[in-house]
Amino acid sequence: MISENVNRVKQAIEKKCLECGRKPEDIKLVAVSKYFGIDAILQVKACGIDNFGENRAQELTLKFDRLGDSVIWHFIGTLQKNKVKYAVRCAEFIHSVDSLDLLYEINKKAESFGKIQKILFEVKTSEEESKSGVNSEEEIFKLAEEAKKLPNIRAIGLMTISPLTEDEKLVRKSFSYLRNLKEMLKRNGYDYLELSMGMTSDFEIAIEEGSTILRIGSAIFGQRDYSKDWRQI
């Protein structure tokens, strides 16, 4: 049952917050709805969740055209330049900005939609080859500096995906790297508020390490059926 899942996740967040002296209301829960349909999203929404995350521009567009602004959309996947217009049209937050090219394109499309696009920079915090994201401090500073100059961009934080491993130490290292990077940016005048980190398997560690946005999918919706055609939602 979806409502039981949501309650279980909410309780786990509260418990962990209590343990480490944080306030649950300082943490935004984004329900990652990729591969799940409108009915499931509405069930989650009925449990008081307003933020939903999608990782493919076309799937996001399809759901946005059904649900519009009745929920808050987060684009969390790898973004190709030619798909930027879809993400900007639908998403209040884009979590996955990792190049100047993408930044400029988002600014351009945001201008054409007459909106200020909130973005986060995705940072590569592990050695995994498959992971995308900015992978040097120099690069993140360059992005932060450019973002400041772009009128239709508002950079609000950093995002990462932890390495796929059972080794809790490596996961923690990845999250604490992101937190330290945020603090370093702050000392240099880029005062970002948000740390988007923590998924089903590691959100408790992420809370301990300072996460402000959790992106949780399967703990809420159940296992994803990757053979399912997402157009049939």
Ligand X SMILES: *Cc1c(COP(=O)(O)O)cnc(C)c1O
Q: Residues interacting with ligand X, by CB under 6 A?
A: 32, 34, 55, 76-77, 161, 199-201, 215-219
Least separation in angstroms between residue 138's CB and ligand X is: 24
Least separation in angstroms between residue 232's CB and ligand X is: 19
Least separation in angstroms between residue 125's CB and ligand X is: 13
Strands (E), 26-152: 28-32, 51-54, 72-75, 93-97, 117-122
Q: Which residue is nearest to ligand X (CB)?
A: 217
Least separation in angstroms between residue 51's CB and ligand X is: 12
- Whichever of 87 and 161 has its CB closer to ligand X, that residue is 161
- Whichever of 142 and 224 has its CB closer to ligand X, that residue is 224
- Whichever of 83 and 215 has its CB closer to ligand X, that residue is 215
Q: Which residues of 18-32 are buried (b: 16+ CB within 10 A; e: fewer)?
A: eeeebeeeebbbbbb
What is the C-alpha R_g of the chain?
17
- Whichever of 48 and 222 has its CB closer to ligand X, that residue is 222
**Which stretch of DSSP H or E encloses residue 159?**
strand 153-159
**CB neighbours of residue 175 within 10 Å:** 23
**Which stretch of DSSP H or E encloses residue 213?**
strand 213-216
